[in-house]
Structure 1
Amino acid sequence: MLGISKRTLATVSQNYTDFKWLLPFAVSILVFVQFAREHTENSVLACVIKAAPIVSLAVFTWVRGVRLPQRRQTALFIFLALCLSALGDVFIQLKAAGYFLHGMAAFAASQFLFTVAFGFRPLNIFILLPLLGVGASYYYLLYPALKAHKEPVFVSAVLGYLLLITGMIWRAFAKYHAARKAGRGRNADAVWLLVGSVGALSFVVSDCTLAWWTFVRDFPHADAIVMGTYYLAQLCITLSVLHEGAVGPAKVPNKGKYEEAKKKASPPPPKKVASPPPAPKKVDEATNTKSTGSPAAPRSPNGGKKKHY
């Protein structure tokens, strides 16, 4: 009546169902901004406040991704990556106690899982080559500070992490480029892949800032830049699971109920109308012919018997 199609109403309903699960993330961000602790504070409260937004995103991914069959394949890897990211947040918060390298290992594993979530087809090497050039240039700038660090393991650790995050942003850009090239650039699917690409880029900005802040020198508002771009990155990558649409509640029925629901939803097959029986063939008694029009053979008077003389 108002000119709103059923498809539009379904999309609005789906978006409401998805986004209402982001409310815990918004609350945890407000708590972090209001009660943020020092980045060197070794306390349980500081670890909880820092990791809470990522845990809330993991819950969102589980409810609106892993539990929905249409999104499960991609969302499962993102869910595991978010869990490792929350663990990495705790380790980075405890870096004064010597857990910074543990945090790097957790985030390296999460970058690999993000890469798997974005997929490896199509490869699109032409996107990878400039990213490798930028990554190599940044590592060249970091190398003197890494070489002078008291722990030489960071020379290889930072290089390995830089390769992993370069691979992650490569796969995010390649997946969005493939969707756009396929003619889906204005569809909701491609929009969420673009959001995921923005998240991958924001992750690179956050980690590059953290590396410079940690190994080279401190600069004003470094903590705010690192955490702001980090939370934005995790939110955008999490939202990329929405590129595989799924309307409906998060609860997944068991197989029997699911098949029964599919049968009820599908329209019944059309009933076959029985064809009328063929009309009986009429015989014309006068001419002894059937309805086909061909005359019957005449009978001889003696019944067809030959006479013997």
Structure 2
Amino acid sequence: MKTKTFTYIFATISILEIISGMIDYREGVFLTKPLIMLSIIVFYYLQSQKSFEKQDILMLIAFTFSWLGDIFLMFSGELFFMLGLGSFMMTHLFYIFVFSRNKTKANHLARICIPILSISIFLLIYNHVEKGLLIPVLVYMLAISTMAITASERKTNTESFRFVFVGAILFVISDSFLAIEKFAYKIPASTILIMSTYILAQYFIATGFLKQSLKA
């Protein structure tokens, strides 16, 4: 599958999911949301076949945990929230491991700015989070911050670096919107903000990592 063809298919699925969420069409969300990461998994697998490596397996596992996280978070209740949180935690741990395999020198700006953003969001929602969820949420925010930092320190070609780093930052932004919306304050057009940044994050990370070895 060519990247251009995949992009059209992926964009169509994503737009349908966002519209379904905006109009509260639950059946539409249940149909399209699982297809977001599933399409990325299929595309990445097909694109990486010519030079399949261990890191590609790890990326596919990371995408699979994101797919599970998307499914769990379609349901309400603390149990499904924790399962979703745990699934995305595993995604970030796999991302961290893979990104760290090609580490260059420390990015001190990222190591300062990204934690400041995460700490600011945590302090904003702190008084609104149930005590039993404080530690899991804090640990998750630590994981996603570490993921973004490791993305900023990858030693690779310029195009791959930019795609993956932008994707990582968008992931942090998406989860920041999600945390504020879930625990603290209602955000206008939250569905568009949360899902568009999340969808673009996964797209940029997947296509960007493929460009590391010029597979896409």
Q: TM-score range by the shorter chain?
A: 0.7 to 0.9
State the AA in 2 paired with 1:27.
T
TM-score by length of 1: 0.62
**Number of positions where the alignment pairs a residue of Structure 1 with one of Structure 2:** 213
Q: Report if the CA contact (8 A) 1:31-1:49 is conserved.
A: yes
Which residue is equivalent to 2:137? 158
- Consecutive unaligned residues of structure 2, counting only runs of 5 or more, are none
Secondary structure of 1:93's aligned partner: coil
Looking at secondary structure, tell me which structure has more helix per residue.
2
Structure 1, residues 160-183: CA drift from partner, whole Å, max 9, x if none? 0001000110011111xx44xxxx
Query: Rg: which structure is higher?
Result: 1
Structure 2 Cα separation of the partners of residues 20 and 81 of structure 1:
23
**Residue 2 of structure 2 corresponds to residue 24 of structure 1:** no
Match of 1:58 among 28, 37, 41: 41
Shift of the alpha carbon at 1:210?
A: 0.3
Which residue is equivalent to 2:122? 139
Could you say which structure has the greater relative contact order, defined with CA pairs below 8 angstroms and 6 or more residues apart? 2
Structure 1, residues 209-248: CA drift from partner, whole Å, max 9, x if none? 000000002121112100010101010001112221248x
Secondary structure of 2:2's aligned partner: helix
Match of 2:212 among 234, 243, 250: 243
Which residue is equivalent to 1:276? none
Q: Report if the CA contact (8 A) 1:47-1:89 is conserved.
A: no
Structure 1 Cα separation of the partners of residues 215 and 207 of structure 2:
13
**Residue 83 of structure 2 corresponds to residue 83 of structure 1:** no
Shift of the alpha carbon at 1:68?
A: 2.6
Q: Report if the CA contact (8 A) 1:91-1:100 is conserved.
A: yes
Structure 2 Cα separation of the partners of residues 123 and 191 of structure 1:
18
Distance 1:139 1:93, change over 3 A: same
Q: Report if the CA contact (8 A) 1:58-1:83 is conserved.
A: yes
Shift of the alpha carbon at 1:38?
A: 6.4
Residues 170-209 of structure 1: matches in 2 within 5 Å?
170-175=149-154, 178-179=155-156, 189-209=157-177
Shift of the alpha carbon at 1:84?
A: 0.9
Structure 1, residues 184-205: CA drift from partner, whole Å, max 9, x if none? xxxxx31122011111000001
Distance 1:77 1:23, change over 3 A: farther
Distance 1:26 1:39, change over 3 A: same
Structure 2 Cα separation of the partners of residues 35 and 134 of structure 1:
30
Secondary structure of 1:139's aligned partner: helix
Distance 1:190 1:131, change over 3 A: same
Q: Report if the CA contact (8 A) 1:39-1:93 is conserved.
A: no
Structure 1, residues 81-135: CA drift from partner, whole Å, max 9, x if none? 1111111111111024741111111111111111122124235162324422332
Q: Report if the CA contact (8 A) 1:89-1:103 is conserved.
A: yes
Structure 2 Cα separation of the partners of residues 228 and 207 of structure 1:
11
Secondary structure of 1:174's aligned partner: coil
Which residue is equivalent to 1:49? 32
Which residue is equivalent to 2:196? 228
Structure 1, residues 240-259: CA drift from partner, whole Å, max 9, x if none? 12221248xxxxxxxxxxxx
Distance 1:49 1:17, change over 3 A: closer
Distance 1:72 1:20, change over 3 A: farther
Shift of the alpha carbon at 1:27?
A: 3.1
Which residue is equivalent to 1:122? 104
Distance 1:30 1:213, change over 3 A: closer
Match of 1:218 among 169, 180, 186: 186
